[in-house]
A and B are shown apart, each in its own frame.
Chain A
Amino acid sequence: MSRVRARDLLVFEALYHPEGQSRGGFLHVLKESGLPEPLLTATEQRLEQRAVHSHPAMAGYALGHVARAADDADLARRLEAAASQLAPLGGSAGDRLFAGHLRPTCAALALLLSALLLLAVSNGVAVPSGAFAAPGLVAAIGLACAGAWWRRRSSLADDATLLADLSEKPWERWIAALRPIGGVLWAGLLLAGLFHAISLRGGAAAACLLVSCGVGLAVRRSAASGLRRGVWVLSIALALGALAASLWGEAP
């Protein structure tokens, strides 16, 4: 029986295009999983002119389901379930988890660390140049580890685990845990920006940027669409205004 490897999911979206979406990646991962040639060709023929889309970290659920096919009739049944149900489910769960919660939380963490770093620099603390990369590294490592964990989990899932995950939706637990963490981090970012703006005249522009972006994004995530857009645009305008104001505040 063939098995999907987590590392092959890395290139799941390599051949992404609007018509077939991730069909190329789907076929590639199945081929690398060791699916026998007659079944692979049958998969390719059944998916011809069809769009398949999922999230790279969650695609293992759909791909593993197909890779466990025993014969042609089993393949047809599994392929239909994977392409029409499991792959879209993985896509929506992955987008919601990664783009909707994990990425903003990691971004907030990185921005908070960056704000603290800027505060230290403004206060005359000598910071080695490599340390400036630390906030970004923290965010990147957090996202990369989460991606690797879900790639491994989804690719190793057998039929019983798949059924259990479909009913329990473990990604919802992640989302529930991330929501308050993100809120605390954004609040911390706002406080750091405000403190910076009050205490340091020279760094006021950068602080205004952080504060206005933070306020705009916080409202953007919670309020209704009209207000949300308005406040976000206002926040960006404030940020750019702060930048423009900084132009007059320094010698050429």
Chain B
Amino acid sequence: MESYALRIVLLLALAAWVSIDERVWPAVQISQPVLAGTLAGILAGSPLAGLTLGILVQALWPALVPSGGVLLPSLGLGAVIGGAAAAWGQALLPPSTMLSGRVIVLGLLAALTGAALGRSSEGMLRAKHAADLSRAEREMRSGSRLAPSALRRAVRSAVLASAFRGWAVAGVVLSVAAFVCRSLLVTGMLHLRTPFWNALDWAGLLLLPISLGLACGQALAAFRRRRASSATTARVGVVA
């Protein structure tokens, strides 16, 4: 059990790191789908399935150009999620099976979902960045005691929020993928290897409520910010 818990923690940590690497700190390039998918596959028990998912995601979108601030799908995050889901599925099959088309389809679906969720959560993060930056600029203008470190705090907050995004998105999608894997096992569509049954149970039961709760909290906070912003706009309109 400890081994599975460690693997899941490492997978979520990888997702958080990839999320930071994708947009905030593009230095190490661990978010390259081939690398991210393979690392997720290694952690989840089947490097071959992870590599295949990484290849797929990388080949489908080799060169996204972030022009004009357009929101791009989170390929690295998608590759981590898809690679882990496919590797989980592959690990359920007999060791002699080379590579299952079913688990690749499952992984691809998980990857696309993760990439889309990552994209929409990036929109929420950008709203947070705007609020953080305007607060930092206000502090700088007012010359308050906190002013000297205002920008540094805003950057640190952006890095942490990005890590949280990766963790939450990966947690939610991998939990759903674990339940799908479990359903496939119940219906006999995949072979069962007992240890992973426990791992999937554990992952689903523990991670889903936590991740959903955190994601809902984040969505609620974004909704409140948007409502406060539109109320301010309305007030400004009345004054004008």
Binding site for B on A (CB under 8 A): 10-11, 13-21, 23-25, 27-28, 31, 40-41, 44-45, 48, 53, 56, 95, 99-100, 103-104, 106-108, 110-111, 114-115, 117-118, 121-122, 129-130, 132-133, 135-137, 139-141, 143-144, 147-148, 202-203, 205-206, 209-210, 213-214, 217, 236, 239, 243-247, 249-250, 252
Kindly provide the distance from the CB of A14 to the nearest chain B CB, expressed in whole angstroms. Answer: 4
Q: Which 9 A-B pairs have the closest CB atoms?
A: A136-B35, A246-B101, A132-B47, A213-B59, A136-B34, A140-B29, A17-B130, A24-B133, A107-B62
Give chain A's interface secondary structure class. helix
Among B18-26, B174-182, B200-208, B232-240, the stretch in contact with A: B18-26
Q: Mark B142-175, 1 if CB is under 8 A from A, else 0.
A: 0000000001101100110000000000000000
| CB-contact partner of A114 in B24, B51, B104, B158, under 8 A | B51
Contact present for A110 and B25 (CB under 8 Å): no
Say if the beta carbon of B199 comes within 8 Å of chain A.
no
- A111 near B58: Cβ-Cβ < 8 Å: yes
Residues from chain B with a CB closer than 8 A to the CB of A118 are 48, 51-52
The one of B60, B62, B127 that contacts A108, using a Cβ cutoff of 8 Å: B62
B121 within 8 A of A: no
Given contacts A56-B26, A111-B58, A111-B59, contact A132 B42 (CB under 8 A): yes
Name the one of A48, A95, A108 contacting B67, with C-beta atoms under 8 angstroms. Answer: A95
Known: A104-B62, A110-B32. A18 touches B126 (CB 8 A): yes
What are the residues of chain B within 8 A of A122 when measuring CB–CB?
98
Cα distance, A27 to B150, chains bound together (Å):
11
Given contacts A24-B129, A118-B52, A136-B36, 6 further A-B contacts (CB under 8 A): A18-B126, A110-B32, A111-B58, A132-B51, A140-B32, A249-B101
Q: Are A236 and B60 in contact (CB under 8 A)?
A: yes
User: When the two chains form their complex, are residues A243 and B101 in contact, meaning their CB atoms are under 8 A apart?
Assistant: yes
Q: Which residues of B contact A210 (CB under 8 A)?
A: 55, 59
Question: Which of A48, A206, A214 is the one whose CB lies under 8 Å from B137?
Answer: A48
User: Nearest Cβ in chain A — how far from B72, in angstroms?
Assistant: 10
- Give per-residue flags for B64-83: 1 if the beta carbon is below 8 A from chain A beta carbons, else 0: 11110100000000000000
Query: Within 8 Å CB of A48, what residues of B?
Result: 137
Contact in complex: B155, A14 (CB < 8 Å): yes
Distance in angstroms between the alpha carbons of A143 and B63 in the assembled complex: 13
Residue of B63, B69, B137 touching A16 (CB-CB under 8 A): B69
User: How many chain-B residues does the 8 Å CB contact rule pick out?
Assistant: 65
Residue contact A111 to B55, C-beta cutoff 8 Å: yes
Task: Please name 5 pairs of A and B residues whose Cβ atoms are closer than 8 Å in the assembled complex, sorted by A.
Answer: A13-B23, A20-B130, A99-B64, A111-B55, A236-B60
Contact assessment for B32 and A11 in the assembled complex, using a CB-CB cutoff below 8 Å: no
| Most chain B CB inside 10 Å of its own CB: which residue of A16, A117, A250 | A16
User: With A28-B155, A132-B41 known to touch, is A17 a contact of B129 (CB < 8 Å)?
Assistant: yes
Cβ-defined contact, B32 with A143, below 8 A: yes
A129 in complex: contacting residue of B42, B56, B152, CB < 8 Å: B42
A107 to B58: give the CA distance in the assembly, Å.
7
Give Cα distance in the complex from A17 to B41, angstroms.
33
A136-B34, A252-B189 known; A247-B41 Cβ under 8 A: no
Closest to B30 in A: A140
B108 beta carbon closer than 8 Å to chain A: yes
- A16-B126, A20-B130, A139-B32 known; A11 and B65 CB under 8 Å? no
B50 contacts chain A at the CB level, 8 A cutoff: yes
